[in-house]
Amino acid sequence: MSGKSIAFVIEKGGTGKSTIAFNIGWYLSKKHKVLFLDLDGQMANLTYFCGVSKEGILTIGNILDGDADLESAAVNVKPNLHIIPADNSITGIGTPAHFDKLSESVELKTSQDYQLFLIERMQEFIRSACEHYDYVLLDPNPSPNYLHTLALCSCEYVIIPVLPDAASVVSDEGTAESLDIVRETGINEDVRVLGILFNRYTDRTNLSKQVRKITEDFAREMGTTIFKNTIRNSVVLSECVGMHTGITDYRPSSPAAEDVRKVAAEIKRRMRNGH
């Protein structure tokens, strides 16, 4: 099996990365094997949405340290859907303290050795996860911290969820720069932006129209396009995650559930068409 890894990334908080990753992953797991990778130690929203308690969990931190593997860390959410959960401990990854700790068991002379070691371990982990799952969905936190960088260094595709406001689009610049760096250094040359996805979207306001225009120009510069389908503003979407259920099961006939199904279909289509 050669699964697809997709990171939901933008250097701006609150655009719906975790909500979208959860709902898309939940829906895809009806027919496919899906693994969530929670990379946001501070919030651990995806872990919470999945209804997984943080007690006794193994995280990406344990995997990078070599103390856990896919099988021991993955928690069952429902048939076909697993998560590598997160807790606050992973916020230490990339810090001098973690470098010192890891140097006790691995020979790492310089901080560059340390960084390359983490990148290689992460890439190796994502590769092996893609042998067991059809989709591996990564949810890093918004600030460009080390786990955010590791996600960009190791995933095959990136989806950029934006809100229809100017601040969202301006924040895309940071993501574009980070992507340029991982491509140009050869760390993840082939990483592709699958598209820019509007969340909480309405096409009725003038503001949305203006932002759409700016975003189209920006997408062109990044060599990508805006998803044809969008996700509307819906209280059901913020409600269902608290009930630990994807909207496509929680309220299958709601308009927002239809949005999620359409976006999931477009994700598959875009991957097939080599976006």
Ligand X SMILES: Nc1ncnc2c1ncn2[C@@H]1O[C@H](COP(=O)(O)OP(=O)(O)OP(=O)(O)O)[C@@H](O)[C@H]1O
Pick out residues in 208-247 that bind ligand X (CB under 6 A): 231, 233-234, 237-238
| Cα distances (angstroms) measured from residue 83 to each of 47, 50, 139 | 7, 8, 11
Cα separation of 209 and 214, whole Å?
9
Cβ 173 to ligand X shortest distance, Å: 16
Asked if 141 touches ligand X (CB under 6 A), the answer is yes
Cα separation of 259 and 12, whole Å?
22
21 touches 240 (CB < 8 A): no
Cα separation of 182 and 141, whole Å?
18
Q: Say which entry of ligand X, Mg ion, none residue 47 contacts (CB below 5 to 8 A, set by partner kind).
A: none
Cβ 183 to ligand X shortest distance, Å: 23
Q: Which is nearer to ligand X, 5 or 115 (CB)?
A: 5
The residue from 3, 94, 142, 246 that contacts ligand X (CB under 6 A) is 142
Q: Say which entry of Mg ion, ligand X, none residue 238 contacts (CB below 5 to 8 A, set by partner kind).
A: ligand X
12 touches 165 (CB < 8 A): no
Cβ 254 to ligand X shortest distance, Å: 11
CA-wise closest residue to 176 among 147, 196, 155: 196
Cα separation of 220 and 208, whole Å?
18
The residue from 5, 15, 18, 215 that contacts Mg ion (CB under 5 A) is 18
Looking at 8-16, 30-38, 70-78, 173-181, which segment touches ligand X (CB under 6 A)? Answer: 8-16
CB-based contacts of 31, cutoff 8 Å, min separation 6: none
Chain residues that interact with Mg ion, rule: CB under 5 A: 17-18, 45
Binding-site ranges for ligand X (CB under 6 A): 13-19, 40, 43, 45, 141-142, 199-200, 231, 233-234, 237-238
